[in-house]
Homo-oligomer: A and B are copies of this chain.
Amino acid sequence: MALKGFEDFEIVGVDVSEPTVRYASEHGVASCVTANALEVLPRADVVILCMHPRGIVDFMARYRDDFKAGCLVTDVCGVKTAIMEGAEVLPEGVDFIGCHPMAGTEFSGIEHAFPEMFQRSHLILTPRASSTAEHLALMERLADHIGCADVVRTTPEEHDAILAYTSQMMHIIAVSVCDDPMLFTCKGFEGSSFRGCTRVAALDVGLWTQLFSMNSPALLAALDRLEDNLHAYREAIASGDREALAKKLDYSASRKRKMDLSGPDLLE
């Protein structure tokens, strides 16, 4: 939906789900929609794989000989090391650039799709050393077309280490907060900080089980740091030393202010 009108590309949607294909046809999501990848894969100049991580890896292995020579394959997945390794299966001459748009909601399914989703978001790319300048330039123009704020280039390893912190940890916090026995009694007593922190707890279980598992060393390291930082606050509060607590809060609040993060927040 966001790609519509991108240069002179014809946009073809492929999905194994019959209801999704029907919805896409009825809503004009693409110029053409099919459940049969083989029908369109051999003539696709750019292939964007938008399945769960294992689905992406499996698709590349299964269809390795059906990609068009010289084409660009990319994805939208929240882990990159495992995807880049999976892409090794592609034949010589098929380029792969890992991609992770930092956009999304807690909802799944085509009925929750909307073309503005990528607006003002970061688009992270993990190219191969051999990725062509033409394909990188294409991804930059694509990011611009769908409304991204910027394009950030990094390695798969750095992506996974940082995303364990900025995304996966946020999801573990959200589900952990929802495990609190007070969850249901607190209705009527919650404000925007609670909604902001717990929103993503309503997650796609299959997807996130894969993301957490495929990036567990970095995620465990991030969670250990979080446990330490939370516990230090617990101890500062327990000590009753208000001056020390104020100093600690001042330190953290200053760090946050220095970040000055602005961006779209898909909360309604």
Chain B CB within 8 A of A22 CB: no
- Let me know if B188 and A152 touch, CB within 8 A: yes
Chain B CB within 8 A of A61 CB: no
Contact of A237 among B165, B166, B216 (CB under 8 A): B216
Q: Per-position contact with B for A220-251: 1 when CB-CB < 8 Å, else 0?
A: 10111111011111100110101001101111
- Let me know if B249 and A205 touch, CB within 8 A: yes
**Beyond A176-B233, A252-B175, is A191–B102 a contact (Cβ under 8 Å)?**
yes
A123 to chain B minimum Cβ distance, whole angstroms, is 10
- Let me know if B209 and A264 touch, CB within 8 A: no
Chain B CB within 8 A of A32 CB: no
Q: Which of A171, A177, A205, A246 has the most CB of B within 10 A?
A: A177
Total copies of the chain: 2
Q: Per-position contact with B for A175-188: 1 when CB-CB < 8 Å, else 0?
A: 11111111111111
**Beyond A162-B189, A227-B234, is A170–B194 a contact (Cβ under 8 Å)?**
yes
Contact of A195 among B186, B189, B257, B263 (CB under 8 A): B263
Q: How many residues of A are in contact with the other chain, CB < 8 A?
A: 97
Q: In the bound complex, what is the Cα–Cα distance between A186 and B216 (angstroms)?
A: 18
Chain B CB within 8 A of A17 CB: no
- Let me know if A201 and B163 touch, CB within 8 A: no
Q: In the bound complex, what is the Cα–Cα distance between A229 and B180 (angstroms)?
A: 7
Question: Taking chain A's interface residues, is the majority helix, strand, or loop, or is none over half, making it mixed?
Answer: helix
- Nearest CB to that of A257 among chain B residues? B202
- Let me know if B249 and A175 touch, CB within 8 A: yes
- Let me know if A179 and B265 touch, CB within 8 A: no
Chain B CB within 8 A of A16 CB: no
Q: In the bound complex, what is the Cα–Cα distance between A200 and B240 (angstroms)?
A: 23
- Let me know if A226 and B256 touch, CB within 8 A: no
Q: In the bound complex, what is the Cα–Cα distance between A191 and B189 (angstroms)?
A: 26
With a CB–CB cut-off of 8 A, which chain B residues contact A192?
A: 103-104, 263-267
Q: Which positions 130-164 of chain A face chain B at CB distance < 8 Å?
A: 150, 152, 154, 159, 161-163
With a CB–CB cut-off of 8 A, which chain B residues contact A159?
A: 189
With a CB–CB cut-off of 8 A, which chain B residues contact A219?
A: 237
Chain B CB within 8 A of A124 CB: yes
Q: In the bound complex, what is the Cα–Cα distance between A248 and B178 (angstroms)?
A: 12
A81 to chain B minimum Cβ distance, whole angstroms, is 15
- Let me know if B167 and A193 touch, CB within 8 A: yes
Q: In the bound complex, what is the Cα–Cα distance between A249 and B174 (angstroms)?
A: 11
Having A179-B229, A180-B229, one finds 6 other A-B pairs with CB under 8 Å, namely A150-B188, A167-B194, A174-B193, A176-B229, A179-B255, A265-B265
